[in-house]
A and B are shown apart, each in its own frame.
Chain A
Amino acid sequence: MPNMSLKKNPMPSQDPNVRNKNFDEVALGYTEEMAIDEAQRCLNCKNPKCVEGCPVNVHIPEFISKVAEGKFDEAFSVITSTNSLPAICGRVCPQENQCEGKCIRGIKGEPVGIGRLERFVADYHNAHGHQGGAPAVPERNGHKVAVVGSGPAGLTCAGDLARKGYDVTVFEALHQVGGVLVYGIPEFRLPKAIVAKEVARLEHFGVKIVTDTVVGRTITIDELMEEGFEAVFIGSGAGLPMFMHIPGENLKGVYSANEFLTRINLMKAYKEGSDTPIMELKGKKVAVVGGGNVAMDAARCAKRLGAEVYIIYRRSEAELPARAEEVEHAKEEGIIFKTLNNPTAILGYNNPEDKRDPKNGSVMGIRCVEMELGEPDASGRRRPIVKEGSDFEMEMDCVIMALGTSPNPLIKSTTKGLEINKKGGIIVNEDGLTSREGVYAGGDAVTGAATVILAMGAGKTAAKAIDEALSKK
């Protein structure tokens, strides 16, 4: 008999007023009892809609029924048969738009907490190890594949191919493995120790990782192919941050979200002993412009550094593109939402008396206009329109632009015959194949800024296509 409770088991979390001062993980995870109780809410549908909603096709009812039986190891095997990074997906996927969004239980009441259960299973596995020792490493099949970038797309592609016996080498430009999982998503949402464990599991399956290598500069795609790699997957990720092209964007104290988050997450600028500086934000005012997950991450980091933080977003709260849980967490932590507002200029300090005043060129405020929503635009969302004469100014010390990114320009400029679209994304077919034979691509390098799970789905699709192409050879 299933558990007919209309509500999900709530996620145990750190108290908002405690956690907004530390970088420890916010959500603490289900206990075994909570997980079994939640798993019993699943109706085990014959035709499971949730699986259709999952970009990497996790066999959801199957793993959940294992959890309900208390067979957590078996549940882990079910998940990892299609998903290389379960501890990560359980934490950062927008489940409400995917698996949980399709769950029948969600029609009347809340859907099954699929993401929370996935996280529980992965964490249980990481804490207890696999019963019967480490899983067997498949025999090598002699085919070499190169993966560019060690973010979610690259790691998924590498993991899937390594499990099939391919000799996979991942090339990472930074000094640390994980791409956006380590430089972008903060510790309090995705602890870096978890990323390291997921990567270690891929290495166990034979994935080799080379850091400090910028493909397109240190070595080109063509040189990789000359070195004997039979296929290359490009998962080089998000590129240059976008700006609004308003006055004052290059003042001191204006960061792109990428830079702000990289200083904090990758370089640990907030920690004693890190050599990387970040602006002192204690008691300062910070405006984060944008409404996506990256904006929420930047805002919550700034809050943890002691600032009073505003989110400035041009549409209304209903249109915020961030995961519902991130918005909720941000509010609980005391982030102030200024929706239906749009910046028109960032105001800088200038002392006409003293050209050498060190404050010259620093942010001192932001000018905004109020917005209202008009007819839906091409994206289906109601278009924001400026309310004439509604200009106002707010004092600010720091402005963080979280407006998305355009794909990384390095590879396309150094790879002949690689076709790109108007926005700079690499053009691929439904298998992830680019205009170059043997060269595949996926993730933000193709789509522009999107989500971890979509990048993983693209890595998975390309891995399948690469396997099909190379196994014929």
Chain B
Amino acid sequence: MYRIVKKRVLNPTVTMMEIEAPAVAKKAEPGQFIILRVDENGERIPLTIAAYDREAGTVSIIFQIVGATTEKFNHKEEGEYIQDFVGPLGKATETEGLKRVAVVGGGVGTAIAYPVAKKLHDEGCHVDLIVGFRNKDLIILKEEFEAASTNLIIGTDDGSYGKKALVTDLLKEQIEAGAKYDRVIAIGPVIMMKFVCQLTKEYNIPTVVSMNPIMIDGTGMCGGCRLTVGGETKFACVDGPEFDGHLVDFDEAMARGTMYRDFELHAREETCNLFKQEVK
């Protein structure tokens, strides 16, 4: 059992949890993920590591409430426990030798972009952190982003904060204005990563994306997380989760991601109803 040390509500549907897991904290690196189960009948879900504190022995994760599992998890409070927390899994982000990087995040994906940006920034890299949200109320981790970047650019879909623009437009502006990037790192919804990659391909900028497919064991056994990268089958859990964005088949990844959508929506509704009944 793993204790919830801290819970922080970042916006109405996004929560940060700091979990006591010393063995994972000792090894965690930006770009890696963990798998957790909330309770005994829980499913195993992968979540990317948002932060870690080796001394305190804790690992933080940020999640959006999308299905029954995240709904249940969000009902847990500080001091309570979750059933399983295993990791760190996947390969860490490679940052060596990078001088100037644009880290592009969308929605809850910005939370995953944060540790990558921080690591690059700590290593002396010039980091343009470009993050996009639907509106002002959904903006998360603004102070953290500022501390982890040379240049923070926030955009919203409705213009309620920063520029009314998509992250691809904001990135394009930077490139057009003369920013010379060694690499673009894009983390967020698959559709966003697809369009970022289309853009960077035009400019020939190496681009890395972080994939978050359906997964069960996370250790290279089940094969559920497979993707097509450069015409070959790759497994996000052991070969990734980061891949060369110009080689990923995003359309296939998007289709595979919808496999259990109806089940998730239905299960979340049922879970919500259960919690409502408890309140009554």
Give chain A interface residues in 354-408, CB to chain B under 8 Å.
358, 360-361, 405, 408
Which residues of chain B come closer than 8 Å to A259, judged between CB atoms? 216, 222-224
Distance A218 CA – B86 CA, assembled complex (angstroms): 8
Interface flag for A258 (CB, 8 Å): yes
Could you show 20 A-B contacts with beta carbons less than 8 Å apart? A173-B86, A218-B24, A239-B221, A240-B238, A243-B223, A243-B233, A245-B233, A250-B233, A250-B252, A252-B258, A255-B224, A258-B222, A275-B41, A275-B42, A275-B68, A358-B258, A358-B261, A408-B219, A408-B221, A410-B220
Are B222 and A241 in contact (CB-based, < 8 A)? yes
Q: Is the interface of A mostly helix, strand, loop or mixed?
A: loop
Interface flag for B30 (CB, 8 Å): no
Are B216 and A263 in contact (CB-based, < 8 A)? yes
Give chain A interface residues in 7-36, CB to chain B under 8 Å.
none
Cβ contacts B59-83/A at 8 Å (1 or 0 each): 0000000001100100000000001
Smallest CB gap from B40: residue in A = A175
Interface flag for B95 (CB, 8 Å): no
Which residues of chain A come closer than 8 Å to B37, judged between CB atoms? 175
Which residues of chain B come closer than 8 Å to A183, judged between CB atoms? 217, 221
Smallest CB gap from B252: residue in A = A250
Q: Known contacts A173-B217, A267-B216, A277-B263: does B89 contact A256 (CB below 8 Å)? A: no
Distance A256 CA – B264 CA, assembled complex (angstroms): 21
Which residues of chain A come closer than 8 Å to B263, judged between CB atoms? 277
Are B228 and A217 in contact (CB-based, < 8 A)? no
Are A217 and B27 in contact (CB-based, < 8 A)? yes
Interface flag for A328 (CB, 8 Å): no
How many chain B residues touch A (Cβ–Cβ < 8 Å)?
43
Q: Known contacts A250-B252, A275-B69, A277-B264: does B219 contact A214 (CB below 8 Å)? A: yes
Smallest CB gap from A360: residue in B = B255
Seen from chain B, the residues whose Cβ lies within 8 Å of a Cβ on chain A are 23-24, 27, 37, 41-44, 68-69, 72, 83-89, 216-224, 226-228, 233, 235, 238, 252, 255-256, 258-261, 263-264, 267
Are A273 and B41 in contact (CB-based, < 8 A)? yes
Which residues of chain B come closer than 8 Å to A173, judged between CB atoms? 86, 217, 219
Are A250 and B220 in contact (CB-based, < 8 A)? no
Q: Known contacts A259-B216, A361-B256: does B89 contact A240 (CB below 8 Å)? A: no
Distance A219 CA – B21 CA, assembled complex (angstroms): 13
Smallest CB gap from A211: residue in B = B84
Q: Known contacts A217-B89, A249-B233, A275-B41: does B221 contact A238 (CB below 8 Å)? A: yes
Are A277 and B216 in contact (CB-based, < 8 A)? no
| Whole-angstrom distance between the Cβ of A42 and the nearest chain B Cβ | 40
Are B216 and A262 in contact (CB-based, < 8 A)? yes
| Whole-angstrom distance between the Cβ of A270 and the nearest chain B Cβ | 13
Smallest CB gap from A237: residue in B = B221
Interface flag for A174 (CB, 8 Å): yes
Question: Nearest 10 CB-CB pairs, A to B?
Answer: A361-B255, A256-B223, A241-B223, A277-B263, A259-B222, A276-B43, A275-B43, A212-B86, A277-B260, A259-B224
Which residues of chain B come closer than 8 Å to A213, judged between CB atoms? 23, 86
Which residues of chain B come closer than 8 Å to A219, judged between CB atoms? 23, 27
Interface flag for A268 (CB, 8 Å): yes
Are B216 and A252 in contact (CB-based, < 8 A)? no
Distance A245 CA – B226 CA, assembled complex (angstroms): 13
Which among A175, A253, A273, A405 is the interface contact of B84 at CB below 8 angstroms?
A175
Seen from chain A, the residues whose Cβ lies within 8 Å of a Cβ on chain B are 173-175, 183, 211-214, 217-219, 237-241, 243, 245, 249-253, 255-256, 258-259, 262-263, 266-268, 273-277, 279, 358, 360-361, 405, 408-410
Which residues of chain A come closer than 8 Å to B83, judged between CB atoms? 175
Q: Known contacts A213-B23, A361-B252, A361-B255: does B41 contact A262 (CB below 8 Å)? A: no
| Whole-angstrom distance between the Cβ of A162 and the nearest chain B Cβ | 23
Distance A219 CA – B260 CA, assembled complex (angstroms): 33
Are A258 and B223 in contact (CB-based, < 8 A)? yes
Which residues of chain B come closer than 8 Å to A410, judged between CB atoms? 219-220, 238
Q: Known contacts A218-B23, A275-B69: does B255 contact A252 (CB below 8 Å)? A: yes
Which residues of chain A come closer than 8 Å to B86, judged between CB atoms? 173, 175, 212-214, 218
Smallest CB gap from B235: residue in A = A240
Which residues of chain B come closer than 8 Å to A251, judged between CB atoms? 255
Are B23 and A267 in contact (CB-based, < 8 A)? no
| Whole-angstrom distance between the Cβ of B79 and the nearest chain A Cβ | 20
Distance A330 CA – B224 CA, assembled complex (angstroms): 25
Smallest CB gap from B225: residue in A = A259
Distance A183 CA – B217 CA, assembled complex (angstroms): 10
Are A214 and B222 in contact (CB-based, < 8 A)? no
| Whole-angstrom distance between the Cβ of B160 and the nearest chain A Cβ | 27
Which residues of chain A come closer than 8 Å to B233, judged between CB atoms? 243, 245, 249-250
Smallest CB gap from A241: residue in B = B223
Distance A200 CA – B256 CA, assembled complex (angstroms): 40
Distance A256 CA – B224 CA, assembled complex (angstroms): 7
| Whole-angstrom distance between the Cβ of B76 and the nearest chain A Cβ | 14
Which among B43, B69, B85 is the interface contact of A212 at CB below 8 angstroms?
B85
Are B27 and A250 in contact (CB-based, < 8 A)? no
Distance A250 CA – B248 CA, assembled complex (angstroms): 13
Distance A249 CA – B232 CA, assembled complex (angstroms): 11
